[in-house]
Amino acid sequence: MIEGILEYLNQTEVIKTIVILGSMGLFFVGLFGLLSQRHIIKVFISIGIMEIAVFILFIGLSFQKGLTAPMLGDAHTSFVQMNDPIPHAMILTAIVIGMAVLALGISFAIEYYKLTGKNRLDQMNEMKH
């Protein structure tokens, strides 16, 4: 029984369907948070969730079953039977950039809170006359 389920789950189509459904579910969780939450930190968390969803989608779909990680090591001396390294490199860059942007955003939010005591987007009204 368990083995049958594992066998079923191990098919490429099934894995990719799970990846698509899961990451898109995550994306819409993030989008919902972005549209419904007004606390600045929660908005940043929602943005983080949306980013992660896109990363999972991309890595999950570009992965091919039966191929190894694109690294040379003891057993692998040439670039054959390996996954495409470009999505990994891209997503690694994107993760770093996304983290930097969120860290910067949180530092702005902290400074803003220190000055004004406000932590919600709908309270941000310095410009309204």
**Based on CB atoms, which residue is closest to other proteins, 9 or 100?**
100
Residue 81 DSSP symbol:
S
Residue 53 burial class via C-beta count within 10 angstroms: exposed 0-12, middle 13-18, buried 19 and up: buried
| Residue whose C-alpha is closest to residue 17's, from 8, 31, 33, 66 | 8
Answer for which of 62, 80, 92, 120 binds other proteins (CB under 8 A) is 62
Residue 123 DSSP symbol:
G
**Based on CB atoms, which residue is closest to other proteins, 7 or 113?**
113
**Based on CB atoms, which residue is closest to other proteins, 1 or 125?**
125
What value does the CA radius of gyration of the chain take, rounded to a whole number of Å?
21
Residues with Cβ within 8 Å of residue 58, at least 6 apart in sequence: 87, 90, 91
- Contacting range for other proteins; rule: CB under 8 A; set: 2-10, 52-60, 63-71, 74-82: 52-60
* Contact positions vs other proteins (CB under 8 A): 34, 40, 43-44, 47, 50-51, 54-55, 57-58, 61-62, 86-87, 90, 93-94, 97-98, 100-102, 104-105, 108-109, 111-112, 115-116, 121, 124, 126-127, 129
